[in-house]
Structure 1
Amino acid sequence: MATSFENLLYELDTDSGILTITLNRPAKLNALNAATIGELGVAIEQGRADAAVRGILLTGSGEKAFVAGADIPELAALSGPDAQAAAARGQAVFRRFETSPKPVVAAVNGFALGGGCELAMACHIRVASENARFGQPEVNLGLLPGYGGTQRLVQLVGKGKALELLLTADQLKAEEALRLGLANHVVPLAELLAFSKNLLLKILGKAPVAVGLTIDCVNTFFEEGGQAGYAAEASAFGQAFGTADFKEGTAAFLEKRPAVFKGN
């Protein structure tokens, strides 16, 4: 049974297997405080463990913000050691989204700044509304990103552009984020959730084990380098051959029919 949350909405569509996690602090533009990050950690663990969950959609409540950043008053009260510990906790939670074998799509509705941009980047795919804005404004506060922003932004847009964005604190409009590869798609706000769910459903029509192995291989490349990535890919390729889904996929191809994957 799912935990009840104070700062999140946790809704599972049992027909599609899509779990929607909504950051729900609209009066604070869904800013990330310690309690919300803790709840995100619980939510992603529940989603990963629940066999009824096949894919995850992450979004924010309201029309203005996915996550507008950190909770600044809470942040300002931290000591240096407290801040380091908080960064480590946030990184660990975001890492669980990034390494989920179940696909995670961020539906970015409005501002994705600071921790919000970092959270979106930890998801596998980002769909942005036309009014979305991405940015890492931490240097304006005398800080730097603490939840993986200096690492993932480089992966998505390249070192030179990432450094420019990190050092200037400039915000990117949705179309520019799309051009740079930070966003995968840009759609009207009214179509954001439907588009994101349809994209997730398309992925969920594929073999679940193969999807999870693919996510792991891509992450291995970025974390450990090319040789480790190639080794992980060869190992995963062999694992996939041992699945019932491989037998079903090849049989369906030869019989010219849609495959019915069971995830084993």
Structure 2
Amino acid sequence: MSASERQGEVRYRAEGGVAHLTFDRPAARNAMTWRMYEELADGLARIEADPAIRVAVLRGAGGRAFVAGTDIEQFVGFSGEDGVAYEIRIDSYVAALERVRVPTIAVVEGLAVGGGLAIANACDLRVATPGARFGAPIARTLGNCLSPANLRRLTATLGLSTVKRMLLLADMPTAESLEPLGYLVAIESPETLDACVVQICQRLISHAPVTMRVTREMLAALALDPDADGSAGIRTCYGSLDFAEGVRAFLDKRPAAWSGA
């Protein structure tokens, strides 16, 4: 196995307004190395810089896992201060994913564990195959903990009771059990996965980019402060060319031609 294969990579591909970020280290169930985290950050920066991108899809290679956490070998010799630095570093990557300007979709086959759960959870939407499992069973494996920021994120999407079960009982709930919570779309069979992802991407691409961006920014702000001021976002939305176009298109009884401006 080459050094590149051992370290893995996050491959970037853009097509039809969709950026595809693929976690490619299937021999290790796509467990993240430092190199892969940096390449994830690079991919997000490419999305930010390319106005043609309207949606981002994150997926693991190999069909057995989305991301099976961080590579455990990287924790050898860790001290308490190393742990603090690590959690700060991981928070920065997850926060960058949350802040990316376009809607994000996590496509989960197999496992989304630890850091993989954090990445999938930071996406706006999740699509999962039957039997896919989500969790951070660190109470029975590594004996580490999650940062307050990632606990807040998980609690916001899954609820306090589910997060406690995941972390204290080391539960790994299935996609089917999480779908009623609104956490994801659990497809009927693996064969329909790609078609489902394409359909969701097409729906997102057909919607007003400014509306989606402002809505995502407001929701992120409200997660930190229930009294967050949304006036800047409201001003941006109502003052946009897209809003004027939407009003004209509605009155003309035609589809709106969104520009994202």
| More deviation, 142-151/158-167 | 142-151
User: Is the 8 Å Cα contact of residues 137 and 170 (structure 1) preserved in structure 2?
Assistant: yes
**Secondary structure at 1:112 match in 2:** strand
> In the TM superposition, what whole-angstrom CA distance separates every residue of 1:78-107 from its partner, at most 9, and x where no partner exists?
222222212111111111111122111111
User: Could you list the runs of 5+ residues in structure 2 that have no partner in the other structure?
Assistant: 1-6
User: Is the 8 Å Cα contact of residues 130 and 188 (structure 1) preserved in structure 2?
Assistant: yes
Cα separation, partners in 2 of 1:73 and 1:147, compared to 1, 3 Å: farther
| More deviation, 187-196/143-152 | 143-152
Instruction: Map residues 6-17 of structure 1 onto 2, 5 A cutoff.
Output: 7-13=9-15, 16-17=16-17
* Distance (Å, rounded) in 2 between the aligned partners of 1:190 and 1:74: 35
Moved over 3 A (4+): 146-149, 184-187
User: Is the 8 Å Cα contact of residues 134 and 175 (structure 2) preserved in structure 1?
Assistant: yes
Q: Deviation of residue 68 (structure 1)?
A: 1.4
Q: Deviation of residue 55 (structure 1)?
A: 1.1
**Of 211, 217, 232, which residue of structure 2 is paired with 1:235?**
232
Task: Give the count of matched residue pairs.
Answer: 254
* Distance (Å, rounded) in 2 between the aligned partners of 1:196 and 1:253: 28
User: Is the 8 Å Cα contact of residues 18 and 56 (structure 1) preserved in structure 2?
Assistant: yes
**Secondary structure at 2:12 match in 1:** strand
Structure-1 residue corresponding to 2:40: 40
> In the TM superposition, what whole-angstrom CA distance separates every residue of 1:132-191 from its partner, at most 9, and x where no partner exists?
110111122111124944222211121122112111111011101212333244342222
User: Is the 8 Å Cα contact of residues 22 and 61 (structure 1) preserved in structure 2?
Assistant: yes
* Distance (Å, rounded) in 2 between the aligned partners of 1:236 and 1:166: 36
Q: Sequence identity, in percent?
A: 32
Aligned amino acid, residue 10 of structure 1: Y
CA RMSD of aligned residues (A): 1.7
Q: Deviation of residue 214 (structure 1)?
A: 0.6
User: Could you list the runs of 5+ residues in structure 1 that have no partner in the other structure?
Assistant: none
Structure-2 residue corresponding to 1:28: 28
Cα separation, partners in 2 of 1:74 and 1:6, compared to 1, 3 Å: closer
**Secondary structure at 1:139 match in 2:** coil
Instruction: Map residues 59-98 of structure 1 onto 2, 5 A cutoff.
Output: 59-98=59-98
| More deviation, 21-30/165-174 | 165-174
